[in-house]
Amino acid sequence: MNKRFLLALGLWLLLVVAYFVIKINFFPTPPEPEQPKVLAPHTVPAEQAEQLLQPLAVPLAQIDLALHAQPKEVEAAVGKVMAERASAAERAAELRRKQESEWQNDAITLGSSKDYKLLVTLSRAGAAVRRIQLNEYRSADRATARPTDQPLLLVDDDLDGTLNNLPLADRLERQSYRLLVDDMPLAWEVLPDQERIDENGVRTQVVFQAIAAGKNVRILKTFTLAPGDYHVGMHLRFESLAPGAEVRYMLTGARGVPVEGEVWKTMPFRQIVTGTVTPSGSAIRHLVTPQEIRDDAKRGEKEKKLKSPPIAGESPPERLQFSGVMLQFFASLAVIDGDPNKHAYIEKVEPEYYGDDPKPLVHGQEWPINERFQGRIAPKLTSRVIKPATDAPQEHKYQLYSGPTKIYLLRFQTGVPEEVVNGYYAQHLNIMTDYPWWPIFAFGWTQLVVFFTDCMHWLLIQLSWICGGHHWAAIILMTVLVRGLLFPISRRQALMSLRMQKLAPEMKALQEKYKDDRQALAAAQMELYRKHGVNPFGGCLVMLLQMPVLMGLYYALYESVDLRLSGFLWIENLAAPDMLFYLGSWPILLKDLTHTLTFGYVVINLGPYFNILPILSTVLLVIQQKLLTPPPADENQAQQQKMMKYMMIIMGYAFYWVASGLCIYFIISGSWGMLERKLIPKVSHEKPEEPPAKTGPGKRRPREKTSTNGAPDGFLGKMKDWLDDFLEQARKK
């Protein structure tokens, strides 16, 4: 019955996949015409509107006079009011045109979309970053993470498309890496004579200056960009204008960082990542999620780690190295350029929550998102008090990094100098991904997993090049290659497990015999293991040897930015669920499952799309478990096996939003496991036979060319003989 059910389920899934593959590739749905974007009219600030409309305030006596006057006088009074109103409206329109003109001229660009890794847009008015474009990567749809034909804007002050509807002050607040004094913006101006342009006419340096009112400090803010850098250099210089000058500044973090795949993400959309360094040089990573920022208690706990100690002159245990916003594949950070123990610029870091994410549109319908994970966040860095002398200005140097979270991948990207990547490692940016999850194992275990993860990244990149850039083929080849190399270890583990299962009846008999003497039971068990050549800890040791390799393979597929927006068949993004078809176009039952349904303690939410690969992965896991699980010896064991089947179904639901690239790995790995199980013979406890005598030095006894089942001689016969030899040697071992 189980075999028939699994066969029917497999055939049904195969038919569904075939139908949608044919439909997508041969009968594509025509794209919907793009609706023109309608912008709301620009609004003038209230104080300016009041000044412009002041002439419209007609005295009450004048209106009363007009009501009792002759018709000609009434007409003249009304005409005068209308003329004043038209004049005020014209002046308001002129002011709006002037503001728009100034805003259009506000942008200053660093770098270019050619020969540079970044294209950076700065603001003249705010001396801050408006946009950072990553030229090597494309953007993805906010709701589903499907690829677009636009370059990736990792920092964007117009993320929601409403920037032009805002007054100037609100536009400035959307900018990133602003410098504030007393929580107020400064009046910046550009120094044209400090500008630098390379031989291709590309601007590479811009210098701003401002005077901190009441602080007697002149601030110079310099931005620089080199072709192979994934960071913008930011150099702050503080000059004293009078004795006793002092200032403290606040540096805002990256705003307008986009999210990909909001309708299916099961992790925080954004996280604030902060790296600190201890006096001994050890790097420590701190993560803050939007939900934690909304919780005042947890936010206060995060702030305490970087606040100045209460005792004057005492050094804090950690110094800030970097802080910023991190996504799954990219991050935008403010990094202290140098050793933070020598350049302790920052006194504290405060997480800032500045708005909710709007609900995305899926097929023209607003779709709910997980409230726990959503939220627009950024850090705010507060400096120590700076006291520049008249003849000794102080300088703070930063790097504004915007690039992949996995720093190791930059080593394989053309145009990125090796010294730049080494500099990122020296600034501990690698701990964004390469950081211990288990403090117990800490450094040794983490370094081992990171080593194998980097090896898998290297292997995946090489196989992708061999496969002509087809990353799905590279995933399959890498999985087969790794599992093949681990076959001797996994085979030994499986054999040990089978031997332990074969000894289960004898072990149960010993437990009944020595149930009152634990010491005698332990001695009898060890004697039984020795008699049959079984190491009870061998299976655990073999599993432990495999874990770093398999974990490295998993993390490599999870971190690889190359899989992002890479397609295969109907899959448009291997870093997202496969999204075979839209559930909203199917019967009412499937429509209901797209939203959250609650059955007691069970909550079902399939989202707007049907994902087939997680279901195939779960089916393979169930089949593999059935093949590896021995028949139950008693009712308790049968009940446990039944519970494991239900756990597999729950695991399938948890896997429903797993990236399709990882699902391909699970499918290939599960198929390999089933094939591996078929090649492992049954364990016999009989005394091993003596090896066949050799007919001569270095020669084996010739094998009979004819077999009892009439196997043909030739290539097929040789293959059968080789397989028989392999299984025979495995049985004897």
Is the pLDDT at 662 greater than 90? The verdict is no
Residue with tokens 């080789």: 722
Mean pLDDT within 661-686: 73
Is the pLDDT at 24 greater than 60? The verdict is no
Integer Cα distance of 349 and 336 in angstroms: 13
pTM, entire model = 0.73
State residue 566's pLDDT score: 87
- Give the number of other Cβ atoms within 10 Å of residue 80's Cβ: 13
State how far the alpha carbon of 718 is from the alpha carbons of 587, 704, 710, 725, in Å.
Answer: 55, 11, 13, 10
State residue 404's pLDDT score: 94
Tell me the three-class secondary structure of 46-57, residue by residue: HHHHHHHCHHHC
Integer Cα distance of 498 and 491 in angstroms: 11
Beta strands in 241-303 (DSSP E): 249-252, 271-277, 283-288
Bridge partners for 252 per DSSP: 380
Question: 702: which 2 tokens?
Answer: 């010739």
Q: Work out the mean pLDDT of the chain and round it to a whole number.
A: 75
HSE on the CB side for 645, CA within 13 Å? 10
Backbone dihedral angles phi then psi of residue 162, each to the nearest 5 degrees = -115, 15
Question: CB-based burial of residue 689 (10 Å sphere; 0-12 exposed, 13-18 middle, 19+ buried)?
Answer: exposed
- Give the number of other Cβ atoms within 10 Å of residue 642's Cβ: 11
Bridge partners for 603 per DSSP: 598
pLDDT digits (tens, 9 = 90+) for 301-344: 544 444 433 333 345 578 899 999 999 899 999 999 988 888 88
Tell me the three state secondary structure of residue 168. helix
State residue 40's pLDDT score: 39
- Asked if 486 and 508 count as a contact pair (C-beta separation under 8 A), the reply is no
State residue 438's pLDDT score: 54
- Asked if 256 and 275 count as a contact pair (C-beta separation under 8 A), the reply is no
Question: 550: which 2 tokens?
Answer: 């398999």
Question: CB-based burial of residue 381 (10 Å sphere; 0-12 exposed, 13-18 middle, 19+ buried)?
Answer: buried
Mean pLDDT within 133-142: 91
With CA atoms as reference, report the closest residue to 357 among 270, 267, 252, 254.
Answer: 270
pLDDT digits (tens, 9 = 90+) for 383-433: 999 998 888 899 999 999 999 999 999 999 998 999 999 999 999 999 998
Determine which helix (DSSP H) or strand (DSSP E) holds 234, and give its type and residue range: strand 231-240
With CA atoms as reference, report the closest residue to 123 among 204, 45, 189.
Answer: 189
State residue 411's pLDDT score: 92
Mean pLDDT within 38-53: 45
Backbone dihedral angles phi then psi of residue 613, each to the nearest 5 degrees = -65, -40
HSE on the CB side for 608, CA within 13 Å? 19
Tell me the three state secondary structure of residue 399. strand
589 or 48, greater pLDDT: 48
Mean pLDDT within 600-609: 58
Is the pLDDT at 718 greater than 60? The verdict is no
Beta strands in 392-433 (DSSP E): 394-404
Integer Cα distance of 155 and 254 in angstroms: 7
Mean pLDDT within 627-652: 68
- Identify the DSSP state of 354: E
- Asked if 192 and 209 count as a contact pair (C-beta separation under 8 A), the reply is no
Question: CB-based burial of residue 98 (10 Å sphere; 0-12 exposed, 13-18 middle, 19+ buried)?
Answer: exposed
Question: 70: which 2 tokens?
Answer: 């002759």
State residue 52's pLDDT score: 44
Is the pLDDT at 445 greater than 80? The verdict is no
Q: Which of 28-32, 406-410, 525-529, 610-614 has the lowest mean pLDDT?
A: 28-32
State residue 686's pLDDT score: 45
Tell me the three-class secondary structure of 557-594, residue by residue: HHHCCCCCCCCECCECCCCCCCCCEEHHHCCHHHHHHC
pLDDT digits (tens, 9 = 90+) for 462-493: 998 998 888 899 989 988 888 888 777 777 76
Q: Which of 151-160, 239-248, 700-709 has the lowest mean pLDDT?
A: 700-709
Question: 402: which 2 tokens?
Answer: 């915007």
Integer Cα distance of 388 and 482 in angstroms: 59
419 or 46, greater pLDDT: 419
Radius of gyration of the chain (CA): 34
339 or 644, greater pLDDT: 339
Mean pLDDT within 673-692: 56
State residue 705's pLDDT score: 42
Amino acid at 6: L
Q: What's the residue count for the chain?
A: 733
Integer Cα distance of 78 and 723 in angstroms: 105
Is the pLDDT at 355 greater than 70? The verdict is yes
Question: CB-based burial of residue 103 (10 Å sphere; 0-12 exposed, 13-18 middle, 19+ buried)?
Answer: middle
State residue 65's pLDDT score: 46
Mean pLDDT within 705-732: 50
With CA atoms as reference, report the closest residue to 219 among 201, 241, 244.
Answer: 241
State residue 251's pLDDT score: 94
pLDDT digits (tens, 9 = 90+) for 73-116: 656 665 665 666 666 666 556 655 555 555 556 789 999 988 89
With CA atoms as reference, report the closest residue to 582 among 264, 140, 138.
Answer: 264
State residue 86's pLDDT score: 64
Bridge partners for 323 per DSSP: 274, 334
Integer Cα distance of 533 and 548 in angstroms: 27
State residue 419's pLDDT score: 93
> How many helices (H) does the chain have, and how many strands (E)?
19, 24
- Identify the DSSP state of 254: -
- DSSP string spanning 49-87? HHHHTGGG---HHHHHHHHHS-HHHHHHHHHHHHHHHHH
Backbone dihedral angles phi then psi of residue 334, each to the nearest 5 degrees = -100, 115
State residue 398's pLDDT score: 95
Question: 287: which 2 tokens?
Answer: 């993560």
How open is the CA angle 572-576-580, to the nearest 5 degrees? 60
State residue 420's pLDDT score: 94
Q: Which of 385-389, 440-444, 605-609, 672-676 holds the top average pLDDT?
A: 385-389
Is the pLDDT at 44 greater than 50? The verdict is no
Integer Cα distance of 16 and 21 in angstroms: 9
96 or 181, greater pLDDT: 181
Mean pLDDT within 287-303: 69
- DSSP string spanning 676-728? HHHHSPPP--SPPPPPPPPSBTTBPPPPPSS-TT-PPSSHHHHHHHHHHHHHH
Strands 217-224 and 231-240: antiparallel
State how far the alpha carbon of 299 is from the alpha carbons of 242, 272, 373, 383, in Å.
Answer: 39, 11, 16, 19
Question: 259: which 2 tokens?
Answer: 């999210």
State residue 538's pLDDT score: 57
With CA atoms as reference, report the closest residue to 395 among 226, 253, 221, 214.
Answer: 221
Mean pLDDT within 259-268: 83
Is the pLDDT at 551 greater than 70? The verdict is yes
Q: Is the dihedral of CA 536, 541, 546, 548 positive or negative?
A: positive
Percent of the chain with pLDDT over 70: 66
